[in-house]
Amino acid sequence: MKRKKVLKIVGIVIGAILIVIAALSAFGYYMMYYSLLPNEGEFKHDAHYINPEEAILNDDFNVCNENYIFQYYNQSEVLPYLNGKNGFRDYINKNYENRNYSDSGYFNIRFIINCEGKAGRFIMHENNLDLEPQAFNSDLKKQLINLTTSVKEWQPIFLFEKNRDAYMYVSYRIENGEITEIIP
């Protein structure tokens, strides 16, 4: 009789432990694979959302999944520059020409890299070195937009076993018309 009670208690304890392990495993799986996925339509109200109607160079551009556009930094292994950041910086510095510009500040270009490595939905922001809104010389803006948008291949982010769409930005720090830094 006592042996039956002991086996029953051991069975209940082992069963409870298995249920807890299964629950923790299911929670861990959810956190790893589903908790980072955005809800449908979530990006339309977030700061990084780029409205396709306001963006430029959007005619032939399509995202692979409008409801799941991630940030480029969700993938930590590599930045989306196809030839690496140094290759991108070398390309910009080789082709950029300071035409006696006196502008200083940050010229930011935000865009989306789709799952195929193509870029589109470009939008620009201009700030002085104190990050206050300012307008840059129109020729300088045109030159930086042309250089950035002429890059036709980017490295799509790889997340959850698949290439994904991602928001990306390139910020040019400019001092007296010279590019002093390219971020990120």
Q: For residue range 123-135, list pLDDT tens digits in order.
A: 999 999 999 999 9
134-148 confidence digits (pLDDT tens): 999 999 999 999 999
Q: Could you tell me where the beta strands, DSSP code E, fall in 21-133? A: 69-71, 105-113, 119-127
Q: Got the DSSP string for 50-65?
A: --TTT-BS-TT---S-
Split at pLDDT 50, 70, 90, the class of 104 is: very high
pTM for this model (two decimals): 0.70
pLDDT of residue 66: 81
Label residue 166 by pLDDT band (50, 70, 90).
Answer: confident
Position 2: which residue type?
K
